[in-house]
Amino acid sequence: MTRDGADTFSAGKLASNDDTPTIIDGTRRQPLEALPKELVEALRSGEFHHALRQAIAYRGLSLARLRAHLGLRGVQIGQSTLSYWQRGLRQPEVPKALPAVRALESVLQLPADALVVLIGPRTARARGHQMAASFHDIRSGDMGSIVDQLLAELGAYPSSNRYNADLEMLSVHDTITFDAAHRQVGLQTRLVCRARRHGPDRYVTVYNGDPGCNIADVELITAEGCRVGRIRRNAGAETMATELLFDRKLAEGEIHVFCFEVRDDSGTASPGYFRMLRDQCSSYLVQLKFALGALPARCTRQFRTRDDAVPVESEELPLDMGGVTSGFFSDAGPGLAGIEVEWR
């Protein structure tokens, strides 16, 4: 999940009792005619995310194992990025991501340029077309365009060029609860903000579920300092934008504290939790609580300037006796801060 400004991201599906793999022989690529019909059609359809998802499923690789194979080829990429790519929530950036896409073709034993031809100008044009459609109709495209559609429905964007722009985030505390099936089932958030000018009376938060999420069943419950306003959902992208109302306008410089909880047990095994910080945040604390009978193999605190970038900070975290791990970030942002999880 991700959240912004503070908005949050859930990173996508992760499996993983995988050992470090040996390199798959990239010279043993299969010709197009030898691939399953569904995969061939996907490679010819022009939809990068659909073709990538089909190819990963055909090879039977988890995202953890796929990432390990890419690492052996010198390509460092986050599991969350791979998840976003195969779900259509992000597109590889050209030309920066071309080495990673070519490495994917090698690992997945696809014909040369089979995936490369699906990114770049052609997909950029397709993405622009989708942005003109109703948000109910979006089935692919980058996360930014999907969120923009939902925010436009709330009247929150682009009127001020950036939503929540009148609020300075001083402190954010996220607590994420996982069940015995490795799913994120609860997210509790407490925010401390300061009004940059007179007038802000609401905060817009964006929730992105893990793969398999049924966004229609996701609940957002408020506690102190706010109440639920309008909600917009995009089932195809497992995304929900919610307006949190303060019931009064804040004065310039005024400090406001508010809390809310997201309940969602509809997704699959989660690879962790990252929050998108659009501006610098003085204090960000993220804590993951695991079921004692289903503890992860590894938790890694990470900060990335972009979701497809190599972490600029990476630190393995301990688990305490209660199955809780904590990651703290001081003066972090803009970028993505959170904890990546690998399961046994």
The residue written with tokens 């904590």 in the block is 326
> In whole angstroms, how far apart are CA 24 and each of 32, 65, 298?
18, 11, 25
Q: DSSP per residue over 302-335, as a string? A: EEESSTTSPPSEEEEE---TTSEEEEEEEEE-SE
Position 82 scores a pLDDT of 87
Q: What is the arithmetic mean of pLDDT over 284-288? A: 97
> Which pLDDT value is given to residue 28?
66
CA distances from 131 to 145, 160, 198 (A): 6, 19, 33
Q: Over the stretch 124-161, which tens digit does the pLDDT of each residue have?
A: 333 332 222 222 222 233 445 666 777 777 766 544 44
Q: Where are the beta strands (DSSP E) in 212-278?
A: 219-222, 227-234, 239-245, 255-263, 272-277
Q: Give the integer Cα–Cα distance in Å for 221 and 263.
A: 8
pLDDT at 46: 65
How far, in Å, CA of 67 to CA of 272, rounded? Answer: 15
Q: H helices within the chain, ranges in order? A: 37-45, 48-59, 63-72, 79-87, 98-107, 121-131, 143-153
Across 54-58, 158-162, 163-167, 201-205, least confident range = 158-162
Percent of the chain scoring above 90 in pLDDT: 35
Residues forming a β-bridge with 263 = 186, 219
pLDDT of residue 9: 40
State the pLDDT confidence band at 93, using cuts at 50, 70 and 90: confident
Backbone angles phi, psi at 91, to 5 degrees: -115, 140
* Mean pLDDT (the chain, rounded): 79
pLDDT of residue 129: 29
- The CA-based angle 184-186-187, given to 5 degrees, is 105
**Cβ 266 vs Cβ 309: under 8 Å:** no
Better pLDDT: 281 or 153? 281
Q: How many Å is the Cα radius of gyration of the chain?
A: 20
- pLDDT band, very low/low/confident/very high, at 258 (cuts 50, 70, 90): very high
Cβ pair 171, 283 in contact under 8 A: yes
State how far the Cα of 308 lies from the Cα of 97, in Å rounded to an integer: 9
Contact assessment for residue 259 and residue 241, using Cβ atoms and an 8 Å cutoff: no
Q: Kind and range of the H or E element at 184?
A: strand 184-195
Q: Give the model's pLDDT for residue 174.
A: 97
What's the pLDDT band for 278 if we cut at 50, 70, 90? confident
End-to-end CA distance of the chain: 21
> What structural domains does the chain harbor?
2-13+150-342 (2.60.40), 32-124 (1.10.260)
pLDDT of residue 162: 61
Q: Of 30-34, 83-87, 88-92, 134-138, which has the strongest mean pLDDT?
A: 83-87
Output the pLDDT for position 164. 85
* Stated length of the chain: 344
Tell me: pLDDT of 244 over 70.
yes
Q: CA dist 335 to 198, 281, 313, Å? A: 27, 10, 11
pLDDT at res. 16 = 35
Over residues 209-232, mean pLDDT? 89
pLDDT at 77 (0 to 100): 85
- Prediction pTM value: 0.62
Please tell me the predicted confidence (pLDDT) of residue 157: 52
Each residue's pLDDT tens digit, 155-194: 665 444 467 888 999 999 999 999 999 999 999 999 999 9
